[in-house]
Amino acid sequence: ELKVEQNPLFLSMQEGKNYTIYCNYSTTSDRLYWYRQDPGKSLESLFVLLSNGAVKQEGRLMASLDTKARLSTLHITAAVHDLSATYFCAVDSGTSYGKLTFGQGTILTVHP
Amino acid sequence: SAVISQKPSRDICQRGTSLTIQCQVDSQVTMMFWYRQQPGQSLTLIATANQGSEATYESGFVIDKFPISRPNLTFSTLTVSNMSPEDSSIYLCSVGASGSIEQFFGPGTRLTVL
């Protein structure tokens, strides 16, 4: 059974600081997704990582994938208040694309 | 990308009743997925809706409780049957757009069962 674990589950940051969210998964998978969810909203796709060593960046967020370690990271650079949200990683089951197993989510709060 | 709409956006229902949630996509897709997000929790896959065949359910979810229809390549429904307060959740449909590696999610249906 595929398991996906994120840490930390809660992250309180000061504006301007850097931090990393970690996502570990238990079995081989072709695709690793990162999503953002604002309170009361649906999921916004941030990144899809396909291969070992893949790195993608968008603004203050950078995601990377190490398939050998079964680890993905979401790095936040110089956090701003607008980044406050819940961040989920998810992994494809491998049996068919689209069947995602999600991590628990990381609730990020950025303080002035 | 794919534009996904869901109806209703929210509902409050009495226990023992059933609610049907609709998911409409702006393009044809082979598979549609239904997820549940319980309050304060992550997302869990309920089932895969395939056009022209029976839905495939994940462990812990059964057709009698969550019947699914998929009449065409742009539309699906999920029914939550004989509801109890434990069914209070957000229900989301998800699709992968043609030519895209991304998985997109609908706006969700927020269900409260009293």
Taking only the tens place, the pLDDT of each residue in A3-27 is: 999 999 999 999 999 999 999 999 8
How many Å apart are CA B104 and CA B96, to the nearest integer? 6
What is the model's pLDDT at position A51?
80
* Domains identified in chain A and CATH numbers: 4-111 (2.60.40.10)
* Domains identified in chain B and CATH numbers: 4-105 (2.60.40.10)
- The structure tokens 């059933």 sit at B18
Strands A10-14 and A106-111: parallel
DSSP β-bridge partners for residue B79: B20
What is the model's pLDDT at position B100?
78
**A43/B contact by beta carbon, under 8 A:** yes
**What does each C-alpha distance from B81 to A28, B10, B114 come to in angstroms?**
35, 16, 14
What is the model's pLDDT at position B98?
73
Look up residue B37 and give its two tokens: 């997000």
Question: What single-letter amino acid sits at B17?
Answer: T
**A36/B contact by beta carbon, under 8 A:** no
Reduced to 3 states (helix: H, G, I; strand: E, B; else coil), residue B72 is: strand
What is the model's pLDDT at position A53?
82
What is the model's pLDDT at position B65?
98
Q: Which of A50, A99, A105 sits opposite B45 (nearest CB)?
A: A99
Measured in degrees and rounded to the nearest 5, phi and psi for residue A65 equal: -140, 130
How many Å apart are CA B7 and CA B27, to the nearest integer? 17
What is the model's pLDDT at position B51?
84
Q: Got the DSSP string for B35-69?
A: EEE-TT--EEEEEEEETTS--EEPTT--TTTS-EE
Taking only the tens place, the pLDDT of each residue in A26-64 is: 988 878 999 999 998 999 999 999 888 889 999 999 999
* Mean pLDDT score of chain B: 94
Look up residue A103 and give its two tokens: 């991590």
Show residues of chain B in contact with A50, CB under 8 Å: 101
User: Residue B29's closest CA among B79, B76, B67?
Assistant: B76
Instruction: Mark the ranges of chain B whose per-residue pLDDT is less than 50.
Output: none
- Looking at CA atoms only, how far is residue B44 from chain A in angstroms? 7
Of A92 and B111, the one with more pLDDT:
B111
